Structure 1
Amino acid sequence: MQKIDKKYKYLNISKSVLIHILMYSLAILTIMPFIWMILTSVKDMSEIFVYPPQWLPNEIKFQNYIDAFNAAPFGTFYMNSLIVALSVTLGQLITCSMAAYAFARLEFKGRDIIFYIFLGTMMIPANVTMIPTYIVLSTFGLIDSLYSLIIPGLASAFGTFLLRQFFMTIPKELEEAAYIDGASKWQVLLRVIIPLSKPALATLAIFTFMGVFNDFIWALICINSEELKTVQLGLATFRDKYLTQWDLLMAGSVTATLPILIIFFVAQKYFIQGITLSGLKE
């Protein structure tokens, strides 16, 4: 009996070791492009395409970062990206919270049908809606303005679904106690539901900020003025028809990832909780 127990113990240890080796290997493969980007950002242009590939630069050139910022008004580009990303994120947190609360708690005719139709819009590719959205914005004279990047993203079917699933895990007894104390539905939402939903709200905020901050195609379509370009459009200035300045492009790309990394690490605890709990159902 002891031999059998030892056998299972060794098997479990071996299984655990193999799983950890596999996970660390995948983690290394995932982070390698990011490390290569950082190292390339401090290399000389002549060292980037040498064969065999050279990971470490012969001389660290932080001048690439200075040259990248001098090549284009990146301060303005960053400000535009932050304004758009923060505005859309705040807008989605407000609209998705209200819609999710309505679908999760309020009783009205056709609620589930409307929710499923609303959810079905997630299956429509974004490319299909680009032309109609552009025409509507053009009709109101909003093209070539930051409003054209903010307004279309103020509502989200994914965000509504994510928050609805989380709201459904909150015990109804908490709301009933608030109603007994004389709270209205608005007060229940603001003082009971929202404070208990920080993990889901943080998850939605991170997803939204990342998506908007990294968006390139829609900004390319709507923005023409140099002073209204976002970071992603600014990075495209390093790519020419015949030449790409890879050292400056990588330096700009490294700085473009910093806001996203900062937000993720700040809200990491809530993010993991939100991903875990949003899939639960009461």
Structure 2
Amino acid sequence: MAAVSAPAAPAATGAPPSSAPRPAQRRARRRRGAVRLLGYVVLVAAAAAIMLPFAWMVISSLKENNDVFTVPLEWIPDPVRWSNYVDIWAKSDMVTWVKNTLVLSVTVTALQVTTGSFAAYGFAKMRFPGRNVLFLVYVGTIAVPWQSYMIPQFVMLSDVGLSNTLWAIVALQTFSAFGVFLMKQYYESIPESLSEAARIDGMSEYGIWWRIMLPLSKPAIASLVLLTFVNTWNDYLGPLIYLRDPQLWTIQLGLKTFISQYNAEYALIMAGSVLSVLPVALIFLFGQRYFVQGIATSGVKG
């Protein structure tokens, strides 16, 4: 009778099952998690450091004048003086300052978006001799500081009777080389086939710019609107040179004179500063998505 052989034992490979992560993979995963956590901590700390002065300004605007610079710093006002925001309107010409600043910011923004997008279309989608050289020369003016030519500019605007008028600021900022550069980079990411198809259908260049390019360029337009509005709203040197009539002062000039007259009323000064920053903060808050998208895609070419 033949002997029955025992089943062979499985060969030992010495390798763990394929579904289980290897120790090296686990260590690499832990390192990536630690690096990501460290990055979040650094970002939170940087954001807190950036927001700290703004938070201190808002808190100080709700204090008594004598409590603004107390040591140690009190982060909770006691008592809370909401009346500071009423007093700043009563003791200053804040209505006129805000109105002038708003008129200038909206007008300059609308003009820069119109001129910048239209000129950018010519540089990006039209072919003519010397286009690249002209664009480089025009964009190169960004590197020229305004202080180097502001005196000849002031003389020229004074000769045509625009000094001491809001039109002087509008004339200075109607055109922006940065706006042309930003819009041109975005236009180049739009397929040329769209423009060619519109030309075949008989659409003029003005129609292509208005009906095709502008609707497709909302992120870039939003970025240009945000940057231009903030720059005009915060401008101090331009209004200081051209606007001498107190009825034409912007909020930056007005707050400077208010500080000179009420240099001991620190809480009111902080309240006025909060009011000057609030419109810009709101615009950034509601337009940051379009701003980031426009900046991120302006350097991408199709």
Return 5+ residue gaps in structure 1 as ranges: none
How many residues align structurally? 282
Where does 1:97-246 land on structure 2 (aligned, <5 Å)? Answer: 97-240=117-260, 243-246=263-266
Equivalent position amino acid for 2:86 in 1: I
Question: TM-score, normalised on structure 2?
Answer: 0.90
* Alpha-carbon distance in structure 2 between the residues aligned to 1:37 and 1:209: 22
Report the Cα offset of residue 62 of structure 1. 1.1
Equivalent position amino acid for 2:286 in 1: V
Larger radius of gyration: 2
1:277 aligns with 2:271: no
The answer as to whether partners of 1:238 and 1:248 remain within 8 angstroms in 2 is no
Deviation per CA, 1:83-140: give whole Å up to 9, x if none.
Answer: 0000000000111011101111111111111111111100011211221211111011
Q: 1:211 to 1:244 in 2, by over 3 A?
A: farther
Equivalent position amino acid for 1:200 in 2: A
**RMSD (CA atoms):** 1.3
Return 5+ residue gaps in structure 2 as ranges: 1-20
User: 2:90 aligned to 40, 50, 70, which one?
Assistant: 70
Q: 1:244 to 1:233 in 2, by over 3 A?
A: farther
- Where is the helix percentage greater, Structure 1 or Structure 2? 1
Residue identity (%) = 37
Deviation per CA, 1:207-226: give whole Å up to 9, x if none.
Answer: 00000001111111111111
Local SS of the residue matching 2:260? coil
The answer as to whether partners of 2:117 and 2:180 remain within 8 angstroms in 1 is yes
The answer as to whether partners of 2:92 and 2:258 remain within 8 angstroms in 1 is no
Partner of 2:7: none
The answer as to whether partners of 1:238 and 1:246 remain within 8 angstroms in 2 is no
Question: TM-score, normalised on structure 1?
Answer: 0.97
User: 2:277 aligned to 232, 257, 273, which one?
Assistant: 257
